[in-house]
Chain A
Amino acid sequence: MKVCFYFQVHQPMRLAQFSVFSKKGETVFGRYFDEGLNKQILDKVAAKCYLPTNRMLLQCLEKNPQLHLSFSITGVFLEQARLYNPEVMESFRSLAKTGRVEFLSETYYHSLSSLFDEKKEFEQQLKLHETAISEFTKPSKVLRNTEAMFSNNIAKMAEGMGYEGIMAEGIESMLGWRSPTYLYSVHGTQKIKALLRHYKLSDDIGYRFSQKSWNQWPLTAPKYAKWLSEIEGDCVNLFMDYETFGEHHWEDTGIREFLSGTFDEISKYSSLEFATPSQIAKDTEAKGEIDSPEVVSWADNERDTSAWLGNEMQRSCFSEITALEKQVKEINDSELTRVWRHLQNSDHLYYCCTKSLSDQDVHNYFSPYESPFDSYINYMNILQDLKSEINERMRK
């Protein structure tokens, strides 16, 4: 059975505390985004996670010739790494150079553009991402849409753009009694294959690893590898945020040793082999068809789009930002377009989420705002300013 590790790498371009009373910053970008804060966070997470974990993975790849890994890195992240911390950029480049690390495709701006009425913006953002990735490796033919958002329609669009595989959350609502450890074709498409995340085993690492109240704590590499060996199927997809290693779980939990140990343990089983999403999509046959007219994602308990579009505030942000597409493209100014696209980042909507307590706690953990209401006010204030900027330029 193939074991596929894929790590998601992303940091949003966080907004400035925008004041309607005193406009600061000479450029539009400088007015809306807090570069100081973004650099500070990138440096912090680089020191805790990106640099040491990349270093460790490089050693693992050198030591273990069977090991294959994959990443998905957003354009927003690459942009920040290039601007604020080139060392991070270099360390990902070194991983790419091994030839055994795949970098998946996704929207450059970590946006909800796949949900726009017109697919043009989605296509453009995938293209932008492909260009950014091409700078250090060959772009992948497997798509990981923002937050694993997936539906028949999204799969169909992806197929139309030449993708051979697409990632999705392996949830029961879509699978029924079936297992996420097989590949599936997608209703209404010809040949694109869906790779489904094994959320239980993924979250054992992503969420539960350092939870002392968990009945499987402490999780060890031999135990985890044994679990993998006992699974039936063609492939097991372990997808998680890369920040799991050193940021969500701190170094002293032993998370990094656990990961490298798990690679070693997996290699001891002849029934298990490492593979990248492209290899799996190429070598494995689909075992059945999944049908998802509604969008599913990997977020929250609901696994739908409610983390970003669940309340009226979020929906109003989304409809206002999408409504600007025509004008922004007409003006065709690179800075303005870039700003408009950074504002599409799904995180800005995520910070406005007002879900019930258990989920809300996760949202609060990631949010730079005191409350979803403050996040909404700030976003809307920026959007109003952008609108007047657009109107001014339209008049010229």
Chain B
Amino acid sequence: MRIAMLGWEFPPFVSGGLGVHCYELTHQLAKMGHKVDFFMPGCGQELKSGNENIRLLAVERSYLNPYFSISKKGKIATYGKDLLNAVKAYGKAASKMVEKENVLKKYDVVHCHDWLTAKAGKFSAGAVGAPLVQTIHSTEYDRASSPWEVILGVEREAVKEADLIIAVSRRTAMRVKEMGADEKKIKIIYNAVDASKYAHKHGHEFSSSVREKKKVLFLGRLTEQKGPVQFLHAAKKVLDKKKDVIFFVAGTGEMLPLLINLSIELGIKDNVKFLGFLPDNDQKKIYSACDVYVMPSTSEPFGIVALEAMAAGTPVIISKSSGVSEVVKSALRVDFWDIDGMAQKILGVLVYPPLGRAMTEMEPNDLMHLTWEKTAKETLKAYNDALSLYSEKKNRK
């Protein structure tokens, strides 16, 4: 099959789960012998996939960035004010490229990811006459506490236009349905993890003052959605009962200054370490260096990071408001607003060593069922479903 995939981020230009998903999915599809052309915003650097079945194609240099990015001065750039126009412009440019490539060799399916590429997907599928598959990794309701109507509009249109929608979890599928999508064209395909990438990584080199202490990890963008405030409040509760614990906050984002202030206000600043954005390799190390990973997200469509921590053999505590909590049994689950419960579970793992060991022992059972190979196979089935839905639609017309 020949697939035109419209993405937004791709390792090493990556800020979240969407990029990881696209990388692993394209590589698995390539392994099965399918050809993927991956269109993404140009970033001024040369794009190379290193795989003969995958071509990375840069759409003109865009001033749009996924979610956020950090400038060289450490400032956080957010969406431009002409966002919708920029998205449209990007969509037009991308679809022109897809159309050009299609002339040389026809695409069987157009696959786009999230709202930022939805327009590009719609234009492209229309231009080349192929079914449109739309994956929803997250919705505006997940990302923002006060959702932006403009983006909601794009998302509603995206799920309406797509021939088939892939949701990364049951909760995301519910959201998509609420947006008005026809239930019959929604398919749930869970994310996965390449466990081999995270196993047996040597831990961080810590100073002696940290080495002796128990370590608790938060890792994610510092936005309300990821629940870092809840994490710090739980940290405070834990420290009331047990002093020798360090809480790592890995990641950056708009809430960083607020969180630093909060750690001071709570009187726990000496026990909270802000690590900033961690490059891939450091991320892998920090998982296994910590005694427990906590994902207190208020709304997490999936939560690949939890699987990464599990793959590193670290016990995980995950929000019940997450897609990953639908598929793992070896985790402790918590309501993001239940600070006492969260603290109690963190303490449980820290003070009762058999607990963490039992959780770790169970993790491979979960991960066994969550491979990118499986995700890709199911995605391929979704492409075939999209093709039949598409031809049905054409016949009706």
Residues of A whose CB lies within 8 Å of any CB of B are: 19-22, 311-313, 315-316, 354, 356, 360, 370-374, 376-377, 380-381
Contact = CB atoms under 8 A, between A and B. Distances in A.
Interface of B: 237, 241, 329, 332-333, 340, 343-345, 347-348, 352, 354-355, 357-359, 361-362, 365
B355 A381 contact: no
Given A373-B332, A374-B332, A376-B354, 16 more contacts: A19-B340, A19-B344, A20-B344, A22-B340, A312-B354, A312-B357, A312-B358, A313-B352, A313-B355, A356-B365, A371-B329, A371-B333, A373-B358, A377-B345, A377-B355, A381-B348
A380 B365 CA distance: 25
Contacts of B237: 21
Q: Which 8 residue pairs of A and B lie closest in terms of their CB atoms, listed nearest first? A: A377-B348, A312-B354, A316-B354, A313-B354, A313-B358, A21-B340, A380-B352, A373-B332
A373 B359 contact: yes
Contact of A354 (B333, B343, B348, B358): B358
Given A21-B237, A354-B362, A371-B329, A376 B352 contact: yes
Contacts of B358: 311-313, 354, 372-373, 376
Which of B333, B344, B359 is packed against the most chain A CB atoms within 10 Å? B344
A217 to B, nearest CB: 30
Contacts of B365: 356
Contacts of A19: 340, 344
A125 B361 CA distance: 35
Contacts of B355: 313, 373, 376-377, 380
A315 B354 CA distance: 9
Nearest to B356: A373
B47 to A, nearest CB: 43
A19 to B, nearest CB: 6
Contacts of A354: 358, 361-362
A374 B365 CA distance: 19
Contacts of B329: 360, 371
B348 A380 contact: yes
Contacts of B357: 312
B349 to A, nearest CB: 8
18 contacts: A19-B344, A21-B343, A311-B358, A313-B352, A313-B354, A316-B352, A354-B358, A354-B362, A370-B333, A373-B359, A376-B348, A376-B355, A377-B332, A377-B345, A377-B352, A380-B355, A381-B344, A381-B348
Given A371-B329, A371-B332, A377-B345, A20 B241 contact: yes
Contacts of A377: 332, 344-345, 348, 352, 355
A373 B358 CA distance: 8
B11 to A, nearest CB: 33
Nearest to B339: A21
B339 to A, nearest CB: 9
B98 to A, nearest CB: 44
Contacts of B362: 354
B347 A20 contact: yes
A21 B345 CA distance: 12
Contacts of B344: 19-21, 377, 381
Contacts of A315: 354
A17 to B, nearest CB: 9
Nearest to B320: A370
B235 to A, nearest CB: 14
Which of B237, B329, B340, B354 is packed against the most chain A CB atoms within 10 Å? B354
A60 to B, nearest CB: 43
B325 to A, nearest CB: 10
Nearest to A379: B352
A315 B357 CA distance: 13
A311 B352 CA distance: 14
A354 B364 CA distance: 13
Contacts of A356: 365
A34 B345 CA distance: 20
A311 B358 CA distance: 7
Contacts of A316: 352, 354
B353 to A, nearest CB: 9
A376 B347 CA distance: 12
Nearest to A356: B365
Nearest to B340: A21
Nearest to B352: A380
